[in-house]
């Protein structure tokens, strides 16, 4: 389909990680989701094929790097390579959740800076551009030598709290650790609320220790803001810390609901009122009682439209 002002067709395809989000994005744009096939052979090799012409098209491939991460990463690389081989004019990798963003520095001897490696792989496969959302480490942006657009879910989260919390004027935004203060501060200013943060120490990949709370949460509704929830260990520790400090209720909103291992059970057993996450990762089905989903499809649709039209996307970054 040709959008106004352009002479190249816009085509959007989805890998297997989050086709529901891809369909929601194409519905917002009023175009069909492109047809493609992915198969896995008996020897565990993947096979991908586009079922329509891509010649001189502006191609966007939507794929979150969720479990199984390496299958989804390999599928994305193969789709990019296949699109370039099919004479696509431009290929944009749309990666709503970039999981390796945590591996962004050499903080131990003899390890890989895997975020940089993934950036190199995407560029070698032929990606001309990358579109993502809320990187755990913004410096990953600098690993790419191609244009990268980094969207924020802040407006979506702010709207969620504004519509879901009845007594918002008695709430406080909470950063679950010092590294999240900047993100939480932006949200607090947007909602015109005070800010607090928890001083914590990470003991291992799945264990954290809360060392103190900075800010007043007594008799307040605590609104935890974070980039993702994985095993929910950090989240539950934060909830316990806030309730022990006198918080009346605790809610959380995150960009990426990864929910691995014991996460769902921990959330259901905890005293937290609700955990909301965007649909950058495919939500669990059926959706547990305490989980809520915020859609970012309109944001991605608008970003794709602007990139296709050659318009600025910078105002979507905040």
Task: Give the residue numbers annotated as catalytic, written as ranges.
Answer: 200
128 is in an annotated binding site: no
- For residues 145 and 123, the answer to whether their CB atoms sit within 8 Å is yes
- Phi/psi of residue 155, nearest 5 degrees: -65, -35
43 is in an annotated binding site: yes
- Residue identified by tokens 């039209």 is 309
Tokens of 151: 């969207």
Burial of 4 (0-12, 13-18, 19+ CB in 10 A): exposed
177 is in an annotated binding site: yes
Cβ neighbours of residue 314 closer than 8 Å, sequence gap 6 or more: none
What length is written for the chain?
A: 318
104 is in an annotated binding site: no
- For residues 18 and 281, the answer to whether their CB atoms sit within 8 Å is yes
44 is in an annotated binding site: yes
Q: Which residues pair with 277 in a beta bridge?
A: 254, 293
55 is in an annotated binding site: no
Burial of 15 (0-12, 13-18, 19+ CB in 10 A): buried
Q: Which residues line the annotated binding site for Mg(2+)?
A: 136, 177
Q: Which residues line the annotated binding site for ATP?
A: 43-45
């Amino acid at each position: 389909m040709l959008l106004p002002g352009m002479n190249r067709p816009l085509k959007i395809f989805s890998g297997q990680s989050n086709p529901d989000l891809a369909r929601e994005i194409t519905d917002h744009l009023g175009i069909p989701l492109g047809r493609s096939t992915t198969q896995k052979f008996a020897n565990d090799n993947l096979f991908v094929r586009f079922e329509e012409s891509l010649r001189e098209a502006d191609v966007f491939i939507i794929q979150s790097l969720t479990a199984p991460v390496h299958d989804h990463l390999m599928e994305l690389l193969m789709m990019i390579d296949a699109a370039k081989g099919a004479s696509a004019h431009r290929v944009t990798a749309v990666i709503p959740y970039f999981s390796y963003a945590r591996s962004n520095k050499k903080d131990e001897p003899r390890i890989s800076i895997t975020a940089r490696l993934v950036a190199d792989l995407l560029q070698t496969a032929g990606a001309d551009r990358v579109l993502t959302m809320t990187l755990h480490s913004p410096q990953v942006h600098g690993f790419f030598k191609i244009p990268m657009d980094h969207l924020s879910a802040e407006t979506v989260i702010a709207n969620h709290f504004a519509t879901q919390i009845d007594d918002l004027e008695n709430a406080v935004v909470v950063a679950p650790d010092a590294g999240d203060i900047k993100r939480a501060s932006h949200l607090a200013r947007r909602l015109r609320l005070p800010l607090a943060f928890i001083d914590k120490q990470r003991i291992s990949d799945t264990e954290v220790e809360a060392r103190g709370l900075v800010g007043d949460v007594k008799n307040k509704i605590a609104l935890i803001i974070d980039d993702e929830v994985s095993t929910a260990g950090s989240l539950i520790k934060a909830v316990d810390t806030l309730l022990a400090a006198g918080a009346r209720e605790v809610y959380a909103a995150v960009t990426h609901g990864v929910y691995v291992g014991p996460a769902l059970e921990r959330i259901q057993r905890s005293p937290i009122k609700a955990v909301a996450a965007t649909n950058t990762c495919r939500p669990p089905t059926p959706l547990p009682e305490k989980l809520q989903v915020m859609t970012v499809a309109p944001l991605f649709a608008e970003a794709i439209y602007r990139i296709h039209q050659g318009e600025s996307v910078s105002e979507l970054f905040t």
